[in-house]
Structures are given as C-alpha cells and as structure tokens.
Amino acid sequence: MTDEREITLTVNGTEHTIEVEPRRLLVHAIREDLDMTGTHIGCDTGNCGACTVLKDGEPIKSCLMFAAQADGAEILTVEGMEDLPEADDIHPLQEGFREEHGLQCGYCTPGMLMAGKALLDEHPDPDEETIRDAISGNLCRCTGYQNIVRSIEYAAEELENRAAADGGAVAADGATDGGPAASPEGGHAAPEFGGDADTFCGREDCCGGPDGADPFDRDALLDDAGDADDTADADAGTDANDRGDTK
C-alpha cells in the first residue's frame, strides 16, 4: 500500500535487515518477517502484554510500536533467553517458570518472561509487591499469578546464589545493581518457597527423575555459576542494558 523502507533490527544478537511498510507493527515484523513466533499477540490494545519484548533492555509491547520505530534497536525475545550469559541450558527465569508451575497454556509466558527479565535486570532482589507491579501489564488467564510470582522469585534467588558463588566478583565489577551483598531493597527477604519441604517434595530433590538424578541440582548450578566465563558474560549482558539507559 505504502512505500516500504529498509530497517535493521538486532534480534537476540543477530542483525536482520528487512523491508517494512511504515505502518507494520514490530510484533508482526518479529513474528512474520523474522519467523520468531514465540512472541504472541493477545489483545491489539496494549493491555495483555503477550507481545512484550525487550528493546534496548526496556520492556515494550511490540504491538504498540511500529517496526520502523525500532530501526537500529537491540531486541530480546523469548527465543534469545537460552543464549543469555546467565542461562545454562535454559535461563533461570525459564527454569523458575517450570519449577514453580508458573504457566499453564503457555500463551502469556513469553511476555511474562520478558517482564520478569526486565524486572530482575533492574531489581535483582524484588519483593512480592515489586514483582506483582512489574507483571501487572501482562495478563494471564490460567495461573492466578501466584506461581508466576514464585517463578520470578525462584529466578532471583538462583541468580543471587550464583553471584554469591562468584565470591562477590560480580558485585565488585558493578555488574549488577549493588550485587547480592548490598541489595538496593535492603537485605534479602527469604523466598517463600525456600526451605519448604512441601514445595520441594517431588519437584526437585525428591522425584527428579528415574535414576534419582536431579535435573535442577542447586549445587551443580552453583558450580556452573562459578565459571569465569559466566562472569565475563554477565558483564556483557549489563553492557547491553547500559546502552539502553543512555539512549
């Protein structure tokens, strides 16, 4: 209908140059031009948040932005989470959603993960109210949110444990907000699920698998987090956020 223009989007670290009409929504560019269908559409009015992605580190609703407005931006979608420096096999947030049963139909989940990622980048140790606020732009019709809150708490604790296992190296580098030793929230509220035998039974250390192996062995995760590579990667991740801040 109208003239197309060339734009460049760096999605999950890969640069793409595409031709779009000026009116083309970013969510359609991501889903249909770049074939990354993990980002969903649920309402067309910016209420549901299923289309949430990070643009230069900030959570945005990609159905409320033209693709052309994102020209030159760095976009993170759910498909990129596994490759983030803080991810092992999968990202701690993804792990949290699985462990704490933070999803049912899965449709809102990518948007929730993005909202959770944006929150934890800013507040590594959020309290429940902060988490609820951070995801209040994302509708979920299945879970009643309680387990989504727990999922994000799980990830926060996981990331904090890893940082602690780094011996404060990350904090000293200023790679996270204050780091685990000096949380901006002032101390660490005990995560609700921590030490609760009911919650753990059958999920992690109890019925983890046929041979008793626990796919989410905390000690193993802590060991992995101690790798020097991870620390370096964490720095890289923060750089991306810094770029977002200065834009």
Partner 1 sequence: MSSEPDTPDAETEYQHDDDGGPDPEKHCGHGRGGMGEEVTRKEDKRFITGRGNYVDDIKKPGMLHCEIVRSPHAHARIEEIDGSRAEAMDGVVAVLTAEDLLEHDLATMPTLMDDTQDVLVNEKVKFQSQEVAAVIATDRYAAKDGAQKVEVDYDVLDPVVDAEEALEEDAPLVRDELEDQEDNHIFDWDTGDKEATETVFDEAAVTVEEDMLYQRLHPAPIETCGAVADWDPGMDKMTVHMTSQAPHAHRTLFSQVSGIPEHKVRIVSPDVGGGFGNKVPIYPGYVVAAAASYVLEEPVKWIEERSENIQTTGFARDYDMTGELAATEDGVIEGVKVDVLANHGAYNAAAQPSKFPAGFFNIFTGSYDIEAAYGSLTAAFTNTAPGGVAYRCSFRVTEAVYLIERMVKVLADELEMDPAEIRRRNFIPSDAFPYESATGWNYDSGDYEKALDKALEMADYDHYREEQQRRIEEDADKLIGIGISSFTEVVGAGPGKQCDIAGIEMFDSADLRVNPTGNAVLRVGVQTQGQGHETTFAQIVAEELGMDVDSITVEHGDTDTEPYGLGTYGSRSTPVAGAAAAVAARKVRDKAKSIAANELEAAEEDIEWERESGEFHVAGAPDRSITITEIAAGAYMNHPGDEEPGLEAVNYYDPPEMTYPFGSYIVIVEIDRETGEVDFEKFVAVDDCGNRINPMIIEGQIHGGLAQGIGTAMLEKVTYDDNGNVTGGDFMNYLLPTANEIPNFDTGHTVTPSPHHPIGAKGVGESPTVGSPPAIVNAVVDAMSHAGVTHVEMPMTPDVVWETLDEVGLAHQPAHNVEFDLGDDAEPADD
Contacts to partner 1 by CB under 8 A: 1, 21, 23-24, 28, 31-32, 35-45, 47-48, 50, 77-79, 81-82, 90, 94, 97-99, 101, 103-110, 113, 131-133, 135-149, 197, 201-203, 206-207, 209-210, 212
Cα 45 from Cα 236, distance rounded (Å): 34
Nearer to partner 1, 26 or 140 (CB): 140
Nearer to partner 1, 161 or 199 (CB): 199
Beta-carbon count within 10 A of 202 CB: 10
Burial class from Cβ neighbours inside 10 Å (0-12, 13-18, 19+) for residue 206 reads exposed
C-beta contacts of 31-40 below 8 A and 24+ residues apart: 33/67, 34/9, 36/11, 36/12, 36/77, 36/79, 38/77, 38/78, 38/79, 38/110, 39/77, 39/78, 39/110, 39/111, 40/107, 40/108, 40/110, 40/111
How near is the Cβ of 247 to partner 1 at its closest, in Å?
23
How near is the Cβ of 167 to partner 1 at its closest, in Å?
30
Q: In what order do the strands lie in the sheet with 58-61?
A: 14-20, 5-11, 74-76, 52-55, 58-61
How near is the Cβ of 117 to partner 1 at its closest, in Å?
12
Nearer to partner 1, 137 or 168 (CB): 137
How near is the Cβ of 168 to partner 1 at its closest, in Å?
30
How near is the Cβ of 146 to partner 1 at its closest, in Å?
5
Nearer to partner 1, 35 or 219 (CB): 35
Nearer to partner 1, 67 or 170 (CB): 67
Nearer to partner 1, 16 or 101 (CB): 101
How near is the Cβ of 31 to partner 1 at its closest, in Å?
8
How near is the Cβ of 79 to partner 1 at its closest, in Å?
5
Nearer to partner 1, 16 or 132 (CB): 132
